[in-house]
Structure 1
């Protein structure tokens, strides 16, 4: 996707960007989700599936060829039984090319690990591009190039190619072992070793050294007498032929099939780990263009904490206390244009009387905690909470009012300034304040609008019991 947009311009992606931003919080995950959405729309997803199918088909064809070539190698080495089998040439013919290719792979792996930029090599590049030969669409052509451009892909691809190569060699050698076993079961072979300048002791030592590991798995090893006798004439005795047959089969399995199978399994594990560590190079310009779209500085997340159906109601613990404090007046998050304490507004004796009960402003969390602690120690007999009626009541404000009411015998809420002025914002929010207070269990008369009514209630001139 990045390669295409860098060459041909950005695609229309409003729906994909919205889906990506809703699907994951991380930038890289959002980039991948967006690419997946656009890939389905542009046809790259189907091209990748076809590419995977061709890779699996090529691996299946290679596996069949490996089985056929392995069986054919065993038949070529043993022959039709009309001549004696040279055990040294037979073992070298079955394992020689395998060992040579294994040494080349080890050397290439060591060289690639020694360099800073590991490459997949000729075989890795061929495996990447070979499936594209069967389809000439632009999407199929871009796939191997896009894979090769991923950071860390070269190392992952080397392990993947190694796993496939070792698995094919293991299949070929296993087919050779199966072919050898079938031919030995159906034909009678004689075994011999030949030399002009080497003594028989050299072959005896070689046969014994190569037979030690297979012997641990139960494969037979010819004894010294059988080895010496096989140097003069083909071994035709029944026990000698079985010993040589078991020695050849065991050496092929232990030194051929087993190492390749272990290496294939190890490369498969390393390949999967390398794939898990693959990451996008987010410093590229193509990804930098997507960052403000997929990871903006701010975004609307909607309501994450919905309002409960039933608001918590004050339990009025202070109403059951015998010794209560005097009246108190507090201000809850007033606007900057509303003077506090009330005497600062120049309201004469009325405001001065209210200021006498002032217990402070509650604008911060610390101030609210201090007020709750103070009222908890000495609950007021009457508590008047002044609010700004121009603001919309939220759960935070209503929760503070409920907590304050829990520490007072009687509580009223004063819409500061509502009785002296009017405005569209204030008139539209007063019903919301009444509704919010009603959900807390307060009666409608708990909301006081005028300054005179507020002072009279604090001074006890108009006592009203809450239901």
Structure 2
């Protein structure tokens, strides 16, 4: 069986399952860590998800995810068949064996369970999250959806208990992934929409089948609708027919008018009003369409609309997974700790990269070039240690401007203001070789580089022993923050760069 595509939802489920497996001990993930760091450079959430996916492939979780989906599909098919049989039985019970239909009782039999279940679903949906969103069994109130989910879990567990060792491991993983899926869907607040969509879809199927059976029976068999009561008056039936038929009439269904209802009731016995009497025999088709119109309007239509609404909310919620942060396990303190620990291990693989770097804003150097054609170059010492002599001993050059920024906000702003007022022809930023590049250096470099057509970074001191091991780190950082900027490691190269026209 082919592994499923690594969609955002599949990645979130696999990550949740791997986090659960590692709650008792770390997996052997050295290769997965390196591959994730290489494939998703600088993106910690994406690296976390990629690591989990690679581990899931090795453990068979990705293949088991496809098996879990198949189990859920089979559970839905089984429920659909059961609903079809239930719809047939409900229709038989509503019409009766004697070709005589109690109109109110038939309508109650067809719509009563549906309306009760719908009220429960709406009430559960509006409950506070602390009451309805913590457990799958209490979320959303969608009974048929929960039944499908539990049936899928049972099917996966049965595979795990009765199949071969390889299939048993796959079945156990499928059951575990269904649990992980429930956790992810609850965290994303998609659980009630999934279960609701399943439940409303099954109900809509049941009503469609019931309507088809009603249409078939009314088309090829003769039925008589009756009104039977012991304590209600005939006017109650007339009001009931008019009220229940108002909305179906707006949708084009035939509904008995007040005169037809009164005529039928006037011809009936005190306790039983047979609508098939000689005075109302011609109106039997109207009564049949009234019954089918009520089933369609109050049964099939709301369930179909709610199924479509749940599908829309489901797709809307999946859109949040476009951001990798939303797919990270965050349902418990243990899960958050696991994420931080994996991030730390990824950090250890790439110490040269600035983890908290900000994305450089697009800037145009053409404006600076136009103003700096005849200006003097600028040399800025940035956060140099006090023991390092500054300014350095350089050949006399009256045109060279030398500044020193110790890292304070005031000095940074003053230097940037001077560069903005007098844009230099070239900007050389001197940094201590053993220092670590950080957000402050990145921000100052980007803002200062906007005022100069050429920018370079000079590592001081020029001692090769002091710079050993640091040049590569600065080069990687510079490549990420200021592509095209030169990295200079000696005083001679710095002077040559400054004097270049």
* TM-score, normalised relative to structure 2: 0.60
Residues 16-55 of structure 1 correspond to what in structure 2 (within 5 A)?
A: 16-20=33-37, 22-23=39-40, 25-55=42-72
SS in 1 for 2:72: helix
Distance 2:150 2:136 in 1: 12
Distance 1:210 1:330 in 2: 85
Distance 1:76 1:176 in 2: 11
Partner of residue 186 from structure 1, selected from 220, 242, 247: 220
Structure showing greater radius of gyration is 1
- What displacement does 1:361 show? 6.1
Match of 1:451 in 2: none
- Cα distance change on mapping 1:113 and 1:235 into 2, 3 Å: farther
Match of 1:13 in 2: 30
Unaligned runs of 5+ in 1: 306-312, 319-327, 343-353, 377-387, 405-422, 442-467
Partner of residue 75 from structure 2, selected from 28, 45, 58: 58
* Residues 1:169 and 2:203 are matched in the alignment: yes
Distance 2:126 2:281 in 1: 47
Partner of residue 252 from structure 2, selected from 205, 211, 218: 218
SS in 1 for 2:267: helix
- Cα distance change on mapping 1:430 and 1:167 into 2, 3 Å: closer
The aligned length equals: 373
Residues 236-275 of structure 1 correspond to what in structure 2 (within 5 A)?
A: 237-275=280-318
- Cα distance change on mapping 1:35 and 1:373 into 2, 3 Å: closer
Match of 2:338 in 1: 286
Match of 2:91 in 1: 74
- Cα distance change on mapping 1:75 and 1:125 into 2, 3 Å: closer
Check the 8 A contact 2:377/2:401 in 1, yes or no: no
- Cα distance change on mapping 1:364 and 1:21 into 2, 3 Å: farther
- What displacement does 1:100 show? 2.1
Check the 8 A contact 1:129/1:144 in 2, yes or no: no
Distance 2:285 2:404 in 1: 95
Distance 1:247 1:87 in 2: 10
SS in 2 for 1:193: strand
SS in 1 for 2:107: helix
Residues 389-404 of structure 1 correspond to what in structure 2 (within 5 A)?
A: none
- What displacement does 1:339 show? 9.2
- Cα distance change on mapping 1:182 and 1:329 into 2, 3 Å: closer
- Cα distance change on mapping 1:168 and 1:363 into 2, 3 Å: same
Match of 1:465 in 2: none
Distance 1:221 1:204 in 2: 12
- What displacement does 1:48 show? 0.5
Distance 1:185 1:169 in 2: 24
- Cα distance change on mapping 1:330 and 1:72 into 2, 3 Å: closer
Match of 2:384 in 1: none
Give RMSD over aligned pairs.
Answer: 4.9
* TM-score, normalised relative to structure 1: 0.64
